[in-house]
Amino acid sequence: MQALTNRGKEVERKPMSFWESLYLPGIFKGMAITFSHLFKKKPTIHYPEQKREFSPVFRGLHVLNRDEEGRENCTACGLCAVACPAEAITMEGAERMPGEENLYREEKYAAKYEINMLRCIFCGLCEEACPKDAIYLSETFAPSDFNRKGFIYKKEDLLIPDKNTDPEGYAKARGSKK
């Protein structure tokens, strides 16, 4: 068979020499390697206390965006759902009634909007498809949960807090992305 890499080694089937059958030299050699790592730079961090900077292209949990006046951007156009390769997004649209102009930016809005995070593969195609700047993938990890029910994210879970009434929550949800 042709080798895939040139790092392969022939397996030696010779019987071990006396020196090798003692095992101790091999153990000390291994311990020395382990010990030498104590003095090297640590590649790990203490996660909850220390946090790494996110890559600018990091794709985490989705947020539904609001405009400057705190109105929802999403118009339930369905382009994210049709772009979604995992078919994780579902929605139901509704017409804005008189008096709801401060809630929704356009005539039509998403009455229901759901992302099934069990299905989502965080590819970001929804973000790319959105014509209304409504959906973004944030710098938040998908949390773990004991049961599956917790992974059906509804509109309330996804919607970004209103910048004007809850600036702290807004800044947290927004993260450091530009």
The pattern of x and - marking residues 49 through 88 that bind another protein according to CB under 8 A reads --------------------------xxxxx-xx------
> Minimum distance between the CB of residue 116 and another protein, rounded to whole angstroms?
8
**What is the enclosing helix (H) or strand (E) of 173?**
helix 167-174
Can you tell me which of 26, 30, 85, 131 binds another protein, judged by CB under 8 A? Answer: 131
Cα 127 to Cα 118: distance, rounded to the nearest angstrom: 18
Give min distance, CB of 137 to another protein, in A: 19
Q: Is 34 exposed, middle or buried (0-12, 13-18, 19+ CB in 10 A)?
A: exposed
Between residues 79 and 120, which has the closer beta carbon with respect to another protein?
Answer: 79
- To another protein, the closest distance from the beta carbon of 124 in angstroms equals 19
DSSP per-residue letters across 2-16: --SSTT--PPP-PPP
Q: CB-hemisphere CA count at 13 Å for 61?
A: 23
- Backbone phi, then psi, for 110, in 5-degree steps? -85, 110
- Binding another protein by CB under 8 A: which of 17, 107, 143, 146? 107
Q: For the CB of residue 10, give the shortest distance to another protein in the complex, in Å.
A: 45
* Contact flag: residue 92 with another protein (CB under 8 A): yes
Decide: is 174 part of the binding site for another protein (CB under 8 A). Answer: no
Determine the distance from the C-alpha atom of residue 101 to the mean position of all C-alpha atoms in its chain, rounded to a whole number. Answer: 33
Stretch that binds another protein, among 47-55, 105-113, 138-146, 161-169 (CB under 8 A): 105-113
Nearest to 103 by CA among 133, 72, 125: 72
Residues of this chain that bind another protein (CB under 8 A): 75-79, 81-82, 90-95, 97, 100, 106-108, 111-114, 116, 131-132, 147-149, 152, 154
